[in-house]
Chains A and B, each alone.
Chain A
C-alpha cells in the first residue's frame, strides 16, 4: 500500500503530493494541502458539503479517490475568488445574511458557481435543482436563492478556465 504521487492543479497552482492510494480527494485536499474549506458531512455523496470543481464541473470529492484527480484541475472554495477579493456570490451571501452555522456554505457556493458558469441567467427552479445536492439544515435555502439570483443578475463572471 505504497503512497502514490498525485500531480494536478489545485486552485490554479501546480501541485505534487504523496497520497495513500485509499485516500479520497476530499481528505487529500483537507489534510495534505490544508484546504479545509470542503467538508465531510456524510462521506457518501448525499449532502454536498464536499463539493469542489473538477475541470470546472461540480463533483462530490468524498466519492473520488485522490489519484483520480491526476492531471486534472481542482478548485475549492478557497480558490473561488482571487485572494483578498470576494466572488459576487460570496459577497451576496454575506450581505443577505445567508451563513448560519456555515458548514454547508463552501459546498453551496461551489455548486452555485457552477450553475452560473453553465447558465448565467438561471431561473429560480434551475438554481434550486443546481443546489439540490447541497443539504442545509440551518437556513431553509430561501436566502441562498435570493443571494444567488442577485449575483446572477449582477453578472457573475463566466466559468474560469479549469
Chain B
C-alpha cells in the first residue's frame, strides 16, 4: 500500500468532521476486507483513511419492537452467530456466514459489504428482500432510504463523500414469514458469488401475502425480481408456481460473462437458486407460523 494519513474518530460526529475536512475524498475503513485489497492493488490511492473501528454506535446489534437494528460496523460473523438473527432473519445470518472465511468474517462488516457495492455483495439481497432501510448520517443530519434504492451502479451508492452509513433497520417480517439466501460458488469457502438469490415469503391464510426476491451478481447492482414477486403474491405457493416464478426471475437478471461465469450459466443459476430459496423460504414460513400458533 502507498502511504496515507489515518484519522481515528470515536463517534459518528467526529467521523463526519474528518470526512468534511477531506473533500478530495477520504476512504472509510471498518473491517478493511474490501478496502485494503483494493489499495494494495493500486485501484484506490487515498491520501486519508478514516478508521471506524472506534465508533461504538456503529456496532450496535439490537432487536426491539420495530424490528432488527444492525449497526454498519457489525461483522458478518456476528450476524452469522446471533441467535435472534438466525431465528427471525435467517437469510441475513446465512449471507453473513458465506462471506470469505472465519478470519475474514470476524472483520468484514455489513456496512462495508454494502458500501463497497460490488454486484456480488452477499449481504445485499437478503436485506433488500427483508425491506431493510438504510440510515445515513451527514453534515445536515440523518436521512433514511430503502436499501433497494441505495445502490446506483458497480461500486457506486447514493452516499456523498461527506456521508456515513450508520445502521440498517430491518422491520420484523412477522411470524408467518420465512427467508433463505443461497449462492453458487466454485469452492465451499473463501469464494465470491457467481449468482446469489435471497427470497422472503410471508404467508397469510395459506396464501402468499408478500414475496420479495433479490439477486446478486447478475446486474451492476442487486436487483429485485419484481415480475416473479407479482406472480406469487396472493397465490398458494405450489411447486409449479414456484417454478414459474423462477423462470420469471431470470428475466430480471442482466448478467455479463466474466471469468467467474458465462451469461448462460448465470441465467441457469438464477432459475435454480430462485426455485430453491423460494421452496426453503416457504417451508420456513410455514414452520414459523406453526411454531407461533
Note whether A and B contact each other (Cβ less than 8 A). Answer: yes
Of B8, B101, B106, which is within 8 A of A67 by CB? Answer: B8
* Contacting residues, chain B, for A70 (C-beta < 8 A): 8, 54
Q: Which residue of A lies closest to B53 (CB)?
A: A68
B213 vs chain A, min Cβ distance (A): 28
Given A65-B32, A133-B189, do A60 and B104 touch, yes or no (CB 8 Å)?
yes
User: A21 to B32, Cβ gap below 8 A?
Assistant: no
Given A48-B101, A130-B102, A133-B190, do A22 and B6 touch, yes or no (CB 8 Å)?
yes
User: A64 to B49, Cβ gap below 8 A?
Assistant: no
Say yes or no: is A54 at the interface (Cβ < 8 Å to chain B): yes
Of A21, A62, A133, A134, which is within 8 A of B36 by CB? Answer: A62
Chain A residues numbered 61-83 whose CB sits less than 8 Å from any CB in chain B = 62-65, 67-68, 70
Of B31, B49, B77, B102, which is within 8 A of A21 by CB? Answer: B49
User: A132 to B101, Cβ gap below 8 A?
Assistant: yes
* Contacting residues, chain A, for B1 (C-beta < 8 A): 22, 24
Residue from A24, A44, A51, A60 with most neighbouring chain B CB atoms (10 Å): A60
User: A1 to B33, Cβ gap below 8 A?
Assistant: no
A65–B101 CA distance with the chains assembled, in angstroms = 19
How many A residues are at the interface, by size bracket? 20 to 34
A145–B86 CA distance with the chains assembled, in angstroms = 28
User: A68 to B32, Cβ gap below 8 A?
Assistant: yes
Q: Which residue of B lies closest to A4 (CB)?
A: B6
* Contacting residues, chain B, for A129 (C-beta < 8 A): 102, 188-189
Say yes or no: is A45 at the interface (Cβ < 8 Å to chain B): yes
Say yes or no: is A58 at the interface (Cβ < 8 Å to chain B): yes
Given A65-B32, A111-B102, A129-B189, do A60 and B107 touch, yes or no (CB 8 Å)?
yes
Of B3, B107, B189, which is within 8 A of A64 by CB? Answer: B107
Residue from A4, A22, A48 with most neighbouring chain B CB atoms (10 Å): A22
B-side interface mostly:
loop
Say yes or no: is A162 at the interface (Cβ < 8 Å to chain B): no
Chain B residues numbered 74-122 whose CB sits less than 8 Å from any CB in chain A = 77, 100-104, 106-107
Residue from A45, A62, A70, A132 with most neighbouring chain B CB atoms (10 Å): A45
Given A70-B54, A132-B190, do A21 and B5 touch, yes or no (CB 8 Å)?
yes
Say yes or no: is B172 at the interface (Cβ < 8 Å to chain A): no
What 0/1 readout, one digit per residue, does chain A (127-162) give for beta carbons within 8 Å of chain B?
001101111000000000000000000000000000
Q: Which residue of B lies closest to A25 (CB)?
A: B32
User: A22 to B2, Cβ gap below 8 A?
Assistant: yes
Residues of B whose CB lies within 8 Å of any CB of A are: 1-6, 8, 29, 31-33, 36-37, 40, 49, 51, 53-54, 77, 100-104, 106-107, 188-190
**20 other contacts beyond A65-B51, A68-B51, A114-B102, with CB at 8 A cut-off?**
A22-B2, A22-B4, A43-B37, A45-B36, A45-B104, A58-B102, A58-B103, A58-B106, A59-B106, A60-B107, A62-B36, A64-B32, A65-B29, A67-B6, A68-B32, A129-B189, A130-B102, A132-B188, A133-B100, A133-B190
Closest 3 CB pairs of A and B: A133-B101, A21-B6, A132-B189
Would you list 23 pairs from A and B whose C-beta atoms are within 8 A, ordered by A residue? A1-B3, A1-B5, A21-B4, A22-B1, A22-B4, A22-B6, A22-B49, A24-B1, A48-B101, A54-B106, A57-B77, A58-B102, A60-B103, A63-B31, A63-B36, A64-B32, A64-B107, A65-B6, A65-B29, A65-B51, A70-B8, A133-B101, A133-B103
